[in-house]
Amino acid sequence: MIFLYLLLGIAPATLAGWLLVRLIEGNTLVLLRGERWVLGCLLGITLTMFVSFIGSAMLGVPLSRVGFLAMQAVLLLILGTLWWFLLRNKEAPVQPKPSPSTLHGWKLWLILALATWTVVKLFASLFLLTATPIYLDDSINNWNYRGKAYFVNQTFVLDVLSPGGSSTMKSLSSYPPTVPMAKTWLADLMGEWDEGLINSIHFVWFACAVLLVFYALRRRTSLFLSLLGCYALISLPLYLIQGSNPYADVFMSAHLIAAVSLLASALASDTRLETKTFLRLGALASGLLLFTKNEALLLYTPLTLGLLALTLFVQSRRRILQTQDIIEAVCAYAIALVVIGGPWIGYKFLHDLPFGNAKSVSGFDVKWQPFVFSAVMVNTFFEGNWLLFFPGIILLLLWQWRAAFSRRLLVLTLFFLGAIGVQYLLFQFTSLSNEALYQTGLARGFTQVLPIGVFLAMMLVHEFEEK
C-alpha cells in the first residue's frame, strides 16, 4: 500500500517536471525519452516542494493535503497551458536516439550476472528502508523530525524542542526544506505518519541518480558501458547504504549529476541549438540545486558558475555560440538562481538562520588542522566505503589525461577534482576538521559527487575503447 501512495505522491511532481523540461527543450530535443521523465521526476519533486514552500511561508497556504494539492494544481495548470499553446499543435521535433548497441557473447552474460546480483541488493535495501525503524541520527533529529513537525502543525516550524528536549530546531531549519516537505506531503496524502512511506521517497532519489548516470552515458557511449556505469555506482557500499537510508546526500548527488552532466553536454556539443538547450536545462537544474542542501550555495554553485564561464568562452571561441547566445545563457542561469535561491536566502536572513549545516560559517578559524590528511587517506583508500573506486579513477585520470582535459570531459574532470579538492581544504584548514577526524561528514561530501566521478570514469574508459 505504501508504494501506491508513493506513486500517487510523485506523479503530479513528475508530470510538472516533465512539462517544464519539455518546454525548456522547445523544438530542439536533446534528452532521450526516458531521460526526460527521470529528470522530470527529480526536478519536479524539488520544484513542487519549492512552490509549496512559497505558498506556505509567504502566502500562508497550510502544509496539508489540500494545501499541497492546491499548489501542485496551480503549477500543473500553468505548465500545462504553456505546453498546450506553445508545443501541442506544432510539428513534433526529431527525438534523439542512442547509438545502436547490442549485448552479445560475454558482455551479455556479464551484464545478466551483475544485474541479477544488483537486483538482489536493491530489493534487500528497499526492504530495510521501508520495513525497519529509523535509527540514524540525522534522520531522527533532522529530516524525519522536521517533516513530522510540519505534518503535525501544517506549517513551517522553526523553533521547536528537539527530540531530546535539550535544544531547538531553529538551527536545523537552516537546511533547505525539500526533503522534510516531501515526507510531509506523502504523510498528508496517506492521512497518517507512516515511516515506511515517508522513507520510501529516498529510494526514488537513489533511482534517479543511477538512471541519470545511465542516460548521460547512453547519449555518448555504448549500452554495455552505460549499464556497467550503473552497476559501478550501485556496487559502491557507502553509496548504496546512503541511498537506502533516509539521509539527504544521495538526494543531493542526483541534483548534482543533473546540473553538471547537462553543462558538460553543452561543452561537448558541436551544434548551436543543442548547446543552447543544454545550457537552459543546466540552468534549471542548477537553480533547483540551491533548494537541496546548504553545500549547494556555498560549495557547488561557485564551481558550477566557473565552469559555465569556461563553457561559454570555449564555445564562443569555437564559433558555436554567438554573443546573443552567451547573454541568453547568463540570463537563464541568473534567473534560475535568483528566482529559486532568492526567496530561500531571503527567508534565511529574515529568520536569522545560519548558512552552514546547522552552524554559522562566519565563525570558522582558518588554520592548519593536524591529523586531517591521514584521516582523509584512511577513509579514501583503506576502508571499504568506496572499494577500489578512488585508486581506479586516479589511475584512469593519469592514464587518459589528454582525454580527461579534452573539451568532451573537461567540465566533469574539473568539477570532480575541484569539489574533492575544496572539501579537503575545508577539512584541513577550518574547524570542520572534526567532520574528517571523526568521519561524520567526510564521506558524505564524497558521496555527493560520486555519480559525477563514476560518469567521468566510464567516459575515460570509453575514450580508450574508441582509440
Which burial class, exposed, middle or buried, applies to 31 when counting CB atoms under 10 A from its CB (0-12, 13-18, 19+)? buried
| C-alpha distance from residue 409 to each of 307, 382, 400, 404, 413 (Å) | 12, 28, 11, 5, 6
Cell numbers for 390: 578512488
Confidence at residue 109, expressed as pLDDT on a 0 to 100 scale: 93
Residue 79: CB partners within 8 Å, gap ≥ 6? Answer: 16, 19, 20, 23
The distance between the two most distant Cα atoms of the chain, rounded to a whole number of Å, is: 65
Which burial class, exposed, middle or buried, applies to 179 when counting CB atoms under 10 A from its CB (0-12, 13-18, 19+)? buried
- Work out the pLDDT band at 163, boundaries 50, 70, 90: low
Phi, then psi, of 400 in degrees rounded to 5: -115, 45
Confidence at residue 254, expressed as pLDDT on a 0 to 100 scale: 97
More reliable by pLDDT, 441 or 37: 37
Report pLDDT digits (tens) over 338-356.
Answer: 999 999 999 888 888 877 6
Confidence at residue 7, expressed as pLDDT on a 0 to 100 scale: 95
- Statement: residue 161 has pLDDT above 80: no
DSSP per residue, 117-183: HHHHHHHHHHHHHHHS----HHIIIIIHHHHHHHHHHSS---S-B-TTSSSBSTTGGGS-SHHHHHH
Q: Which of the 8 DSSP states describes residue 87?
A: I
- Statement: residue 357 has pLDDT above 70: no
As a whole number, mean pLDDT of residues 437-456 equals 88
Confidence at residue 314, expressed as pLDDT on a 0 to 100 scale: 96
Q: Which of 17-26, 154-163, 428-437 has the lowest mean pLDDT?
A: 154-163
Report pLDDT digits (tens) over 260-284.
Answer: 999 999 999 999 999 999 999 999 9
SS3 label, residue 375 = helix
Alpha carbons 251 and 205: distance in angstroms, whole number: 5
The secondary structure of the chain in percent helix, strand, coil, rounded to multiples of 5, reads 75, 0, 25
Report pLDDT digits (tens) over 39-52.
Answer: 999 999 999 999 99
Neighbours of 307 (CB within 10 A): 23
Residue 284: CB partners within 8 Å, gap ≥ 6? Answer: 20, 21, 24, 43, 336
- Statement: residue 92 has pLDDT above 70: no
Q: Yes or no: say if 448 and 401 are a contact pair by the CB < 8 Å rule.
A: no
Confidence at residue 428, expressed as pLDDT on a 0 to 100 scale: 85
Query: Which spans in 191-269 are helix H?
Result: 195-218, 223-235, 237-243, 249-268
Report pLDDT digits (tens) over 209-228.
Answer: 999 999 999 999 999 999 99
| Residue 70, amino acid | A
- Work out the pLDDT band at 164, boundaries 50, 70, 90: low
* Cα–Cα nearest to 293, from 362, 233, 247, 332: 247
Alpha carbons 242 and 444: distance in angstroms, whole number: 9
- Work out the pLDDT band at 434, boundaries 50, 70, 90: confident
Cell numbers for 102: 547490442
Confidence at residue 91, expressed as pLDDT on a 0 to 100 scale: 67
Per the prediction, the chain carries an average pLDDT of 90
Describe the crossing of helices 2-25 and 33-59 by its angle, rounded to 10 degrees. 100
Share of the chain above pLDDT 70, in %: 94
* Cα–Cα nearest to 26, from 278, 286, 326: 278
Q: Which of 46-50, 64-68, 177-181, 374-378 has the lowest mean pLDDT?
A: 374-378
More reliable by pLDDT, 139 or 15: 15
104 beta partners: none
